[in-house]
Structure 1
């Protein structure tokens, strides 16, 4: 088995980072980043054996990048990752990847872009396996409310506050 994981201590709690070999070869990629008590773990989630950060360069790099991000010193991530899921989920996750730091979109915005229902988009957003790096926390309710987050609403509020744009910075993305 090539899947392995490590616990990454952060100000948001110990995150479980899961790595595996890339589907097309080419080395290790991040395939999961989960909060303590994460709502939506993949079916049959097997994170493999636990490894030390120093034994896995990708995980050590992720830990550094997360530390920088949470300190307000980084706005995006460079670690290699791979989103694994069904076609609709991957379509929604690709839209999440396009949401810039400090901006938000609504579930309705994503639904219009995919041609699907907001509820189906919500399920796909909630199933995002790579929290923070693939910024599902940037999706909000139609009325601007902070809604659903697999890591909990307090963590979502914290992440949004960290990225809070100056007034009038929210542009239409889709």
Structure 2
């Protein structure tokens, strides 16, 4: 199809191409000299460009970023969690020993109470079932007693 047959076509025009022209180097007049104190003279640097021009100016020190504190290889949170786990493990071991000690102490007290009950009970049994000729207490001779009408008279 040709452009003249298309309904909404634009007419074809020639395209102009512009090439940039290089600029002529500017001739700079020397700057007037200003008296400056010897201690405050800034550093002046000159740079020669590839086309032969010389650019002169004050040297500007680049702004140095503040040093960033080196991050540790392991985060502090991870170290704290690990230390907490170690401490918890140590406490659990101590609690296990504490509960073992309490159980052993309870068994010892139970055995001492049982031993005291056996010894005290044995002493009471000896007191009850011993011979009646013991030197302690009151002896009553009941052979002289008279029994009248189901009453006991001594």
TM-score tier after normalising by the smaller chain length: under 0.3
Which is helix-richer, 1 or 2?
Answer: 2
Identify the structure with bigger relative contact order (alpha carbons < 8 Å, sequence gap 6+): 1
Rg (Cα) greater in structure: 2
Which is strand-richer, 1 or 2?
Answer: 1
Give the TM-score normalised by the residue count of structure 2: 0.14
Give the TM-score normalised by the residue count of structure 1: 0.13
